[in-house]
Structure formats: C-alpha cells, structure tokens
Amino acid sequence: MINNEIIEYHVSEEDILSRADLFIKNKFIQFSRSQIKKLIDNKYITINSYPIKASTDIKRNDLIKIIVPQEQKNTLTPSELKLEILYENSDLLIINKPFGIVVHPSKGHLNDTIVNALLGMNIEFEPTLGERKPLLVHRLDKDTSGLLLVAKNERTYKYLSGIQKKREINKYYLAVVNGIPKKKYATIDAPISRNKSQRKKMNISPDGRESMTTYKVLQSSNKMSLLELELHTGRTHQIRVHMQAIGHAVVGDELYGKKSKLANRQMLHAYKLEFTDSIKNIISITNEPEKDMKEFIEFYFNN
C-alpha cells in the first residue's frame, strides 16, 4: 500500500480569503496552478472533509486537507526507440526529434511517441503528483525534425515555460519553401486561430492569437528557397501557416500546400535553441537536418 503525504491547514482570522484554487496557490507555493487543478479534479483536496471545486469559497476556520500521491507506476508505456540526446544536465535535456514521430500520446498514437521513447530511456524524471514522466516545454509537428526541450522536474518546467512566455527562448528553424520571396528578410505578424471548417488546420484570423515569425532567405534555386526562420511566438503550425499566407508553402507540406514530387515529407527542421537556464548558464545548441533534408538541400541548392 502506498503511504501518501497529507498536508492540513486551518484557515485563521488573519488569512486573506479567496476562492479555493487561489488561496491554496498562495499558501502552498510548492504546487503549481496545474498541479492544484489536478489535485482538485482528482478529489485530493477537501475542505472540512468534503471535495471541492476550484471556485469554492474559503471561510474562516475551514480545515483544508491535501493528499499528495506518492510515486506510482506510469500509465504510459515505455518504447524501445532510442533518441539522440544533444545536451543534458540534472534539470533538463535537449533531444533530436526524428521526423515522422508524434510528440505526445493521443488517439491512434498511444505507445509510439517521443514521450514513450523518453520513458524507455535511462533518464531520471522527478515524480509529478505521483507520476514520473518527461515534461515537454514545446512541441514539434509529426513531420518536423529537430531540437526539442524537455524538463526533468516541475520546477524546471515552470522556469522554462515562464521564459518561453517572455520570448526568452530563441528558436530557429530551417525550411525549404516553394518559390522565391520578394523580400529577402521580413517579419510576418499575423494572428492564428483554428480553422472552423477543417479542425486539423490553423489559419490567419483577426480574432486569432498573436503570432510572429521572422524569415531570412539563405539561398534560392530551382524555384525554391532555403530559409532560416525565427519563432517569436509558438502557435500550432505557425511557420507552415505563415509561409502559406505569403504564398510560399513549405515543400512537402500537404496540409498547407501540396504533395511534392521531390520530397516525401515537409522540409522543416528545428536547428537551433538559445536560452539562459535557471542558474544563469547560457545554453546554445545547433543541430544539422536529418539525412533526407540535408541531401535535399545539397542537391537542389549547392550543386
């Protein structure tokens, strides 16, 4: 039997009262907002022995009881896929994601994702509310390759998510696009939202979320261009949507462009990450494209 940790607190006359989730977040700083939500949803937090909602009002003399589940067996299945680790320390790692692999488990991809692969490797992930699992700071599309940042514990995840929101994680991509942009260097500032008629797609929309991408043309040849792109925001399919919007869809991107006779997947690679970690070390990692994209660039741009 697992012995869970139990935390109790009596609300005093000096306490500033508020709704339960806010009160608990202020009193128990060891928990993040997402952890508190998970604890409430799973009825691990009670007030006067009754389960609560996030919006439950805290009152004087209430007895708050929090059950913190201890480590339990992962519900996710580890896989045997070995990923290349390009950087690692005690708090985080940066992996090279191959193209053709989904990042998170979902319907149709329960056991063959990047998360399953990380669980199958000899990596020490700190338990989060009883479950030991990798915490991915950002995502890459299935057919996009390249650098993926992973936190080993909740504290590092919160820090990295925080600096990501402040745009202090610099993310650079390489892409081969159709056509030759008129401007050699430009920033695309266009909000993105989900397409209402095609749920798998995103599109430019006035009521979408702020989205900004800067591109620079590195080479042009054979009615295609090799671009370096910097993401200032991290919306779903952002580069693919923005490049389609200016008439230069990523080569091989069948969702936002068309099937290519030259490539069997979208030519998009996350090749550089730069950020400062929680102890002020500057981390800068670069990574060449996979063999297929590297050979594509060599053949069509360097011959």
For residues 81 and 114, membership in a common domain is answered with: yes
Residues 6+ away with beta carbon under 8 Å from 249: 177, 178, 240, 243, 256, 257, 258
For residues 112 and 83, is the Cβ–Cβ distance under 8 A? no
CATH of the domain at 36: 3.10.290.10
Q: Is 41 a catalytic residue?
A: no
pLDDT by residue for the chain (303 residues), tens digit each? 456 788 999 999 889 899 999 999 888 877 878 788 889 988 999 999 999 999 999 999 999 999 888 765 566 788 999 999 999 999 999 999 999 999 988 777 878 899 999 999 989 898 776 677 899 999 999 999 999 999 999 889 989 999 999 999 999 999 999 999 999 999 999 999 999 899 889 999 999 999 999 999 999 998 999 999 999 999 999 999 999 999 999 999 999 999 999 999 999 999 999 999 999 999 999 999 999 999 999 999 987
Which among 166, 193, 226 is the end of a domain? 166
Q: Which amino acid is it at 82?
A: K
For residues 197 and 269, membership in a common domain is answered with: yes
CA distances for 260 relative to 101, 256, 299, angstroms: 20, 12, 16
For residues 199 and 267, membership in a common domain is answered with: yes
Q: What's the rounded Cα separation, in Å, for the pair 117 and 198?
A: 30
For residues 158 and 288, membership in a common domain is answered with: no
Domain that holds residue 47: 5-68
CATH of the domain at 241: 3.30.2350.10
- Active-site option among 141, 189, 207, 253: 141
For residues 61 and 116, membership in a common domain is answered with: no
For residues 183 and 252, membership in a common domain is answered with: yes
> Which pTM does this prediction carry?
0.79
Q: What's the rounded Cα separation, in Å, for the pair 201 and 241?
A: 9
**DSSP letters for 88-99:** E-SSEEEEEEPT
